Amino acid sequence: MLRPVLRFAPSPNGLLHLGHAYSALFTSVWAEALGGRFLLRIEDTDITRSKPEFTAAIFEDLAWLGLSWEQPVLRQSDRFAVYAAAADRLRARDLLYPCFCSRTELAAQSSGADPDGAPLYPGTCRHLSAAEVKQRFAEGRTANWRLRTDDAMALTGMLTYSVAGPTPADRPQIRYARPERWGDVVLQRKGTPTSYHLSVVIDDDAQGVTHVTRGRDMEPSTDIHVLLQMLLGLTSPLYTFHKLILDTEGKKLSKSKGSTSLRSLREAGRTAEEIRRELGF
């Protein structure tokens, strides 16, 4: 019988904070309880913001917390060709189309928001003719490639996924996926052959991940992931969603907002044992 496989997959675009520590420890505890394997994956597809020094800091912080993981560590920047090939498969089925809209144009055109609060794409470029697309590329314009979500859902039909928790011993529950809430999501970004949604489902399948642990804020993204898994013939893992670590204002910790890093806490004299105890581990 194959052992369960779980992973912690941070992005090296800043220093880890307490929210990352909770997620990593939560995943490690689940892996141990299930008699499974604990993997570390570096999700460095954002080539502009990802830095080697942040990758090194991830290793340092996790080791300080007392965590260990299997080698080698998968780095998504090494797998761009794999993601591009998957996108080509979708494109061959006419499930992707190029979007030339700028962020400013998207904000002005939007008639709503996706589950993350970003402007919901109104489909401006969805019906461009082949000649119009060719002309825009000839002019040197770049494009994001978006999924024709409604067409994709017509192919897959109703989608469900299994959710475990709050402990590994609890019986999984079935939930219905609602990818339509996201509209036509971007699967390939300008200058990059992938997006978070595309690369994460491909790598979870490639690494044999059986249980995906993620924060509750990521629950809506699972709808898109289940859709992509079905379209690409990938295995759908069991999901569990853990609590978020909040700041004094009740907001989620964030690198972009300058939440206190684990490195800063360590340099201020905090011990790993104190951090683990504070987080409930």
85 and 200 fall within a common domain: yes
Q: Is 218 part of any domain?
A: no
| Predicted local distance difference test score (pLDDT) of residue 258 | 76
Three-state SS at 262: helix
Q: Does the pLDDT value for residue 256 go beyond 80?
A: no
Q: Does the pLDDT value for residue 228 go beyond 80?
A: yes
pTM beyond 0.85: the answer is: yes
In angstroms, the CA 272 to CA 66 distance is 8
- Mean pLDDT along residues 59-76: 98
166 and 270 fall within a common domain: no
Three-state SS at 62: helix
- Mean pLDDT along residues 1-20: 96
Residue found by looking up tokens 């595309």 in the block: 198
- Mean pLDDT along residues 164-171: 88
Domain end position, chosen among 174, 206, 238: 206
Q: Is 14 part of any domain?
A: yes
- Mean pLDDT along residues 252-273: 91
157 and 51 fall within a common domain: no
Read off the pLDDT of residues 128-142 as tens digits, 9 standing for 90 and up: 999 999 999 999 999
Print the domain residue range for 37: 1-77+246-281
- Mean pLDDT along residues 207-222: 97
Sheet of 96-99, strand order: 96-99, 144-147, 186-188
83 and 145 fall within a common domain: yes
| Predicted local distance difference test score (pLDDT) of residue 111 | 74
100 and 167 fall within a common domain: yes
181 and 266 fall within a common domain: no
| Predicted local distance difference test score (pLDDT) of residue 26 | 98
Range among 80-89, 95-104, 240-249 rated most confident:
80-89
Q: Residue 38: which H helix or E strand, with range?
A: strand 37-42
- Mean pLDDT along residues 33-39: 98
In angstroms, the CA 110 to CA 211 distance is 35
91 and 202 fall within a common domain: yes
| Predicted local distance difference test score (pLDDT) of residue 251 | 86
Domain end position, chosen among 158, 186, 206: 206
Whole-angstrom CA distances from 18 to 30, 89, 165, 255, 260 are 18, 39, 21, 10, 8
What average pLDDT does the structure give for the chain? 95
| Predicted local distance difference test score (pLDDT) of residue 166 | 83
The domain total for the chain is 2
Written as one string, the DSSP assignment of 125-140 is TTT--HHHHHHHHHTT
CATH of the domain at 44: 3.40.50.620
